[in-house]
C-alpha cells in the first residue's frame, strides 16, 4: 500500500463520520478553527518577537516612520 491509499482511507473514514454524525462535524469544524488560531498566533509571535531579526527590523522601521511623521508635523506647526 502506498501513502496515497492510506491517506484516502483516512479521509474517507473522517468524511463518513462527518456526514453521519453532527457532533463529529462540529468537532472537525472547531478543531480546524483551533488549528487556524494556533497558526495565526505562531505567525504573529515569529513576526513580532523583538528577539528575532525580522521583529527588530519591523520595530526599527515603524519607529523611523513615526519619527519622520512627527518631525514633519512639528515643522508644519512651526511655519
The DSSP annotation for 12-78 comes to HHHHHHHHH-HHHHHHHHHHHHHHHHHHHHHHHHHHH-TTSHHHHHHHHHHHHHHHHHHHHHHHHHH
pTM of the model: 0.58
Tens digit of pLDDT for each residue in 3-56?
999 999 999 999 999 999 999 999 999 999 999 999 999 998 888 888 888 888
Amino acid at each position: 500500500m502506498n501513502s496515497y491509499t492510506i491517506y484516502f482511507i483516512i479521509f474517507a473514514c473522517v468524511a463518513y463520520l462527518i456526514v453521519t454524525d453532527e457532533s463529529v462535524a462540529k468537532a472537525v469544524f472547531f478543531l480546524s478553527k483551533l488549528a487556524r488560531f494556533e497558526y495565526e498566533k505562531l505567525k504573529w509571535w515569529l513576526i513580532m518577537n523583538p528577539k528575532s531579526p525580522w521583529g527588530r527590523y519591523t520595530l526599527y522601521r515603524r519607529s523611523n516612520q513615526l519619527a519622520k511623521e512627527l518631525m514633519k508635523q512639528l515643522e508644519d506647526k512651526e511655519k
